[in-house]
Structures are given as structure tokens and as C-alpha cells.
Chains A and B, each alone.
Chain A
């Protein structure tokens, strides 16, 4: 009798804690129990990953807007606004004019370009972004193209096309142009089209020599040149 009641008490005591705690009951069912702490840690890791992914998308948008804004200022010859899009150590290389190093030099170069006045067209459409944000979210690269219409009343009308390979950097949460490199594909007179050769690229600026020579020497249409891609084939990775 005594032994039997003791046995019952013994069994009850063994069962009791698992009844009290449903997670132990779950554990007995083969499911790995997760403490609240573990679940919160898992959620934190997911949120951190999401924050990074969301930031990457936001960065893509900010960089697209930055390049678009560049184009709209260039159209209207707002050279100080253009220069302000560059980092202090930013560089600019247009065609075969050489490299201007640092925001002050970029600004000086830009002010050598035409003013916006009656009779001028200086459209530089910024098109076809292929933007790659680096995994640290601090730097990015973009391939773009410009479709260009330049005109001076009674003087000249030209089509032009260029490929950009640009670099950007995020400084204190703001994306800036670190390096802008425009490779011209062609410049042609409006009345001659693109089957009769083309115009030469914009000439060097005699009274403002660049800080560095052109990084690549190439010819415009009718010659052909492939500006190097900053990215691999997005499907094959090659």
C-alpha cells in the first residue's frame, strides 16, 4: 500500500513539470523548442538582413536620381550645381579631354563649357542605368548612356552618344559622384547622319590642361570601341 502510493506520487512528480511547461511537452514530441530569446535573435538577424536589402534598393534609387539630376543640370549649363554633385576628391573625364581631379578642378573645367543662352541646345539625356551597389553599401558603380543634342543657332547641330562608367560613394548617408567617365561613341552633324563618318570629339581645352592624361585612348565612329564593363554578365557571372 505504502509502496504503491509512493510509486504513484513518484510518477505524478515526474509528469508534473512537463505538464506545467508546454515547451517541454513539445520537446518530447520531437520539435526543437525555441526560447523567446532564440526567436528574438532569429528575428533580429532577419531584420538586419532585410535592412541591408532595403538599403540596397534605396541606394539604387538614390544613385539613379543622382545621375538623372546630373543630366538635368548639364542640359541647362548649371555648372556649379553639377560640380556640387561630386565628392571633394571626385574626378571627371569627358571624351579625350583628360582627367580633372578634385571638385575644384571639376568645377573649373565645367565653367569652360558653354553658358545657357538664347540659341543654345545642350541636351544630355541620361538613359539605361545598369547600377551595381557594392555589398558594403558604401560604394557603387553605374553604366549609363547619354543621348546628346547640341546646337548653336545658325552655327551647328549635332547628335552625340556616349557611354558612362561612373563610380559613386556614400558619404554621411549622401551619394556623390566619385568618378565620372564619359566615352563618346559618336558625334555627327545633324544634316549628315551616321553613314558618312563623324565629327571629332570635343577638343582639349588649351588654357585648362587636365591633371592627368586620358585613361584610355580610342576613336569615335566610324571607328568602334567597347568601353570596359564594370560588371560581369548578370546571368553567367562571366
Chain B
């Protein structure tokens, strides 16, 4: 009685398992023929590679837009908007004024600059990006240049030019300015042009000493100086 009932159970189980195995065999030959696994692995590798490259292009665009946005705010003396583009630990160094460390100090420095009012021209064109995104996609560096037209009605008209060597960090998916360093090439009076010497590079600000001294001491035109490049020659790698 016991054996026969056990036998019955076993037979039923056997039948069930056999059917199930057959179904499994059909199913697997249907959805996963030989080579499917290899194809899926190959596709995964391609997708991972494309993800990296697509992200790289997106990061380039975001970094370019970040720096051009910086310029459009500077033009109009929107100092809080400018400061907001920096990371909390971001630094700023303009000419020979020294280094301001941290977003709050960057903001304090920026607020010593002119307000936007009638008679003010403060154009800082942001040009010629050379952007390098680090392999991990978390940090980046860029060389840019500014071409400046500075004017105060009845008191000043100047040309200015300089080179930025900036660093950026991606925090929670958003690129921010980690370090902004502007090396001035020249400042000249509009009416004198650039064959009669130039104006000195702006130095320390009275009443707001920087957190660190200037990192590179140099002189503007008529002196010459080559701001260090963050990158190697893109052709030779040297």
C-alpha cells in the first residue's frame, strides 16, 4: 500500500519532470540558440563602449555651455550667477590678484567688481575651447581665451586679452567650475593700441586679501609669458 502509493507519486513526478524538461528544452532552443549568449556579450561590450563615447560628447557640450554661460553672466556683472557656477571648494584666480578659495570667497571677490549700470561695458568673450575630459569622466580641464572690451563712459576704454586654464568637476551629474585661472596677455588703452606698451595686470584688491598668493608671477604685454598648457600636443603627444 505504502510502496504502491509511493510508486504512484514517483511516476507522477517523473512524468511532470519529463514534461517540464522537454518544455525547457524547446523553450531554450527557441529563445537561446547556440551563439546567442556570445552575441549578447558582444552587444553588451559595444553598448558599454558607446555609453562611454556618448557620455564624452555630452560632457564636452556641457563643459562648453558652462564656460560660455560664465562669460554671458560676467558681461552683465551677474556676480551671484557667476559664483553659483563654482563648486563649493572651487577656486578663482584672475591676473595677479591671488587665489580665492571656496565658493563663498569667490563670491566675495566677484562682488568687488563693477556693477552693471549705465556707461558700463564689461564684455568678456569666451573663445577657442580646448577641452580635455579625463578618462573617468569625473574631471576635466580646458584652455579658453577671453577677448575683452572694457569701457566706462567718459573715463576708460580698453582692450584686453588673456588665456584661461580651468578645471571642472562633475558632481551629481552636473559639471561645475573647480578652478578658474585667467592669465592676462595684455591690457591696452583703446586709443593707444598695442604698440605703445600696455596697462599693468590687475593686482591685489584693497580690503579683500586673497587666500593664497598668485601661483605664477608674470607680466603682461609688452612682456611675454606662456601660460602652461594642461595638455600635450594632440598630434605628437609631446
Contact = CB atoms under 8 A, between A and B. Distances in A.
B152 A234 contact: no
A56 B58 CA distance: 8
Interface in B179-200: 190-191
Interface stretch (B92-100, B113-121, B219-227): B113-121
Contact of B190 (A43, A186, A194, A226): A194
Contact of A57 (B20, B21, B54): B54
B85 A234 contact: yes
B61 A234 contact: no
A20 B28 CA distance: 11
A198 to B, nearest CB: 9
B10 A43 contact: no
A145 B125 contact: yes
Contacts of A36: 31-32, 36-37, 40
A124 B21 CA distance: 75
Contact of B191 (A39, A130, A193, A222): A193
Interface string A121-135: 000000111111000
Contacts of B149: 159, 161, 194
Contact of B118 (A17, A130, A161, A223): A223
B13 A57 contact: no
A38 to B, nearest CB: 10
Contacts of B121: 185-186, 194, 221
A129 B84 contact: no
Contacts of B232: none
A224 B119 CA distance: 7
A238 B154 CA distance: 36
Contact of A196 (B10, B43, B62, B154): B154
A223 B118 CA distance: 5
Contacts of A9: 10
Interface stretch (B68-76, B104-112, B131-139, B205-213): B68-76
A179 interface: no
Interface in A70-88: none
A160 B64 CA distance: 24
A192 to B, nearest CB: 9
Given A233-B85, A234-B62, A224 B120 contact: yes
Contacts, number: 150
Interface stretch (A45-53, A98-106, A108-116, A149-157): A45-53
B65 A130 contact: yes
SS of A interface (majority)? mixed
A17 B85 contact: no
A39 B40 contact: yes
A194 B157 CA distance: 6
A230 B81 CA distance: 15
A3 interface: yes
26 contacts: A6-B3, A6-B6, A17-B24, A21-B24, A36-B40, A40-B40, A47-B47, A53-B55, A54-B50, A57-B57, A127-B125, A127-B127, A128-B68, A130-B68, A130-B72, A131-B61, A145-B125, A147-B147, A194-B121, A195-B155, A222-B153, A226-B76, A233-B81, A235-B84, A236-B84, A238-B84
Interface of B: 3, 6-7, 10, 13-14, 17, 20-21, 24, 28, 31-32, 36-37, 40, 43-44, 47, 50-51, 54-55, 57-58, 61-62, 64-66, 68-69, 71-72, 76, 78, 81, 84-86, 116-121, 123, 125-127, 147, 149, 151-157, 174-176, 190-191
Given A163-B72, A196-B153, A221-B121, 10 more contacts: A2-B3, A6-B10, A21-B28, A39-B40, A129-B68, A222-B153, A223-B118, A226-B76, A234-B174, A235-B174
Q: Please give me the 9 A-B residue pairs with the lowest Cβ-Cβ distance, nearest first.
A: A194-B151, A193-B157, A193-B190, A195-B157, A57-B57, A36-B32, A130-B68, A222-B153, A53-B54
